[in-house]
Amino acid sequence: MHKTGTAWWQHGIVYQIYPRSFQDSDGDGIGDLPGIMGRLDHLVELGVDAVWLSPIFPSPMADFGYDVADFTGVDPIFGTQEQFDALVTEVHRRGLRLILDFVPNHTSDRHPWFEEARRSRDSAKRDWYIWRDPAPDGGPPNNWLSNFGGSAWEYDAATGQYYYHAFLKEQPDLNWRNPAVRAAMFDALRSWMARGVDGFRVDVIWHLIKDDQFRDNPVSPDWKPGMDPFHQLVPLYTADRPEVLDLVREMRAVIDEYDDRVLIGEIYLPLERLMAYYGADLTGAHMPFNFQLIDAPWHARTLEGLINEYEGGLPPGGWPNWVLGNHDKPRIASRVGPAQARVAVMLLLTLRGTPTFYYGDELGMENGLIRPDQVRDPFEKNVPGRGLGRDPQRTPMQWSAAPNAGFTTGQPWLPVSDSFSEVNVEAQSGDRRSMLSLCRALIALRRGEPALAAGAFEPVSAEGDLLVYQRIWGTDRFAVALNLGSTAARIALPERFADGRIHLSTHLDRSDALVGATVELRADEGVIIAPAKSAQVKP
């Protein structure tokens, strides 16, 4: 237990690794488990607490691991079961935790379960998936759409029925209404926890249950040509069904069979629905992922509003969390620019709740440039020209100015970003004002100060491009002032911070500078301010 009295997943920082892109150890151009193990010291030096791995299970790789063919194995591309066990040991030896991505909504169409299910309508595993007869005209049973383009129904000529797939046709959805499916998937969770895994990030958890009447989804009044075609319909009957919360509670009960584990849910939903996934009496997901910083316009008043709304909407005892980037969304430095990316990481690491880093964001990595002939993402291939492809944010980690950024001695599976000669771990480790140095300093400060790790959040009134708040733990306070604008701005500080000092600036150049009743923030600057000692008072 941390000195704040919080669990590791509350005071800690989660670091997401996309295994294909982190470090290749054998020259095949694809990252692997030994590569990750060889780079763990970078995570220790950075100061994070937990490693989250995107899927490493056996897979045909139609969706690069999110099409699972065995929920209890390791794909040979990434390594062996023994290498995974060695990774768990090395992670724990360094005082870190290991979180696995779990993909319960669907399997690969090459999973033995589905191969058996499609043999005949009488197969013992037929009801493990979702099958329907054709519509009277022979077409799909209803209007449900795939997230990756086109109908969500694929016709199986051998048995004369359609099966449902929320994503690729190679990813048939499991029927979570079937108790045998639930039992098998829960046993898979247990098998990983028995091997030392500390928790799970559960993929598309809000998709697990579909309407048992198979009603058509309503047409969206907001969709316009050129937008993602999936959003033509409101997924009323294919996601966030009322019964899914019962499943999340059952999954949490399995997690709770083991000590000190965490359940994190991937959920892209409006705030009021997101909060439901904490469950009654907090018996749902420990942390339903909060993606507001990924999707919101980067304006101070917008962010202020969503932060206050999120804090106010949490159920009693619900623990907040914040995410700046992941494998599905453009990188933060590309969304807001390199200068504001520094302000963004200060925001991430000083808000109340658990922060999640995406690999490379500690360097300010931007989206890579992917030529049409280099596209690997099936989403981009299915829905081209809409800017929906996810390859740009999955380019290899940039370790050094060596060939291929030190990621591989072979041909990388995706091209290394052109920025790697300057934007890399080796170069930034030697630069006291680099993004990496800023992230290390922020994390060290957060780890050492209970007010920043677990303290209360209190907004401070501000205008224009300024976002200001306090973090409070007993008599300790910090003010965080962020300038989201491109011009300098001055702000009046709360009275107790007059004659305080700047503890840390995103520019890394005026630590310990004294402030008066006001402080001037330069363009694209954030500061953490400590009050004068005499001003420390109980909240």
Residue 514's beta-bridge partner residues?
Answer: 501
Give me the pLDDT at residue 359, please. Answer: 98
Give me the pLDDT at residue 534, please. Answer: 46
Report how many domains make up the chain. 3
391, 435: one domain: yes
Residue 138 C-alpha from the chain's centroid: 40
Give me the pLDDT at residue 386, please. Answer: 84
Q: Examine residue 448 and state whether it is found in any structural domain, yes or no.
A: no
Residue environment code for 22-46, b if the CB has 16+ CB neighbours within 10 A, otherwise e = bbbbeeebbbbbbbbbebbebbeeb
Asked whether the beta carbons of 135 and 144 are under 8 A apart, the reply is no
103, 120: one domain: no
356, 495: one domain: no
Q: Examine residue 247 and state whether it is found in any structural domain, yes or no.
A: yes
Residue 164 C-alpha from the chain's centroid: 26
CATH of the domain at 519: 2.60.40.1180
103, 245: one domain: yes
Catalytic residues, by residue number, are 203, 257
Residue 274 belongs to what domain range? Answer: 8-107+179-442
Q: Examine residue 171 and state whether it is found in any structural domain, yes or no.
A: no
Q: Examine residue 230 and state whether it is found in any structural domain, yes or no.
A: yes
End-to-end CA, the chain: 24
Q: Examine residue 147 and state whether it is found in any structural domain, yes or no.
A: yes
Give me the pLDDT at residue 537, please. Answer: 44
Tokens 């994070």 correspond to 48
Q: Which residues does 360 contact at the CB level (< 8 Å), separation at least 6?
A: 331, 397, 398
Report d(CA 307, CA 33) in Å as an integer: 37
Out of 382, 410, 442, a domain closes at: 442
201, 341: one domain: yes
Give me the pLDDT at residue 205, please. Answer: 98
97, 116: one domain: no
Out of 416, 442, 468, a domain closes at: 442
241, 318: one domain: yes
- Model pTM score: 0.96
Q: Examine residue 383 and state whether it is found in any structural domain, yes or no.
A: yes
Give me the pLDDT at residue 292, please. Answer: 95
CATH of the domain at 156: 3.90.400.10
Give me the pLDDT at residue 360, please. Answer: 98
Q: Examine residue 340 and state whether it is found in any structural domain, yes or no.
A: yes
Give me the pLDDT at residue 1, please. Answer: 56
102, 119: one domain: no
525, 504: one domain: yes
367, 303: one domain: yes
CATH of the domain at 400: 3.20.20.80
288, 211: one domain: yes
pLDDT less than 70: residues of the chain: 1, 534-539
Q: Examine residue 62 and state whether it is found in any structural domain, yes or no.
A: yes
Out of 412, 442, 472, a domain closes at: 442
Asked whether the beta carbons of 72 and 192 are under 8 A apart, the reply is yes
> Of 437, 467, 442, 445, whose CA–CA distance to 364 is shortest?
437
294, 385: one domain: yes
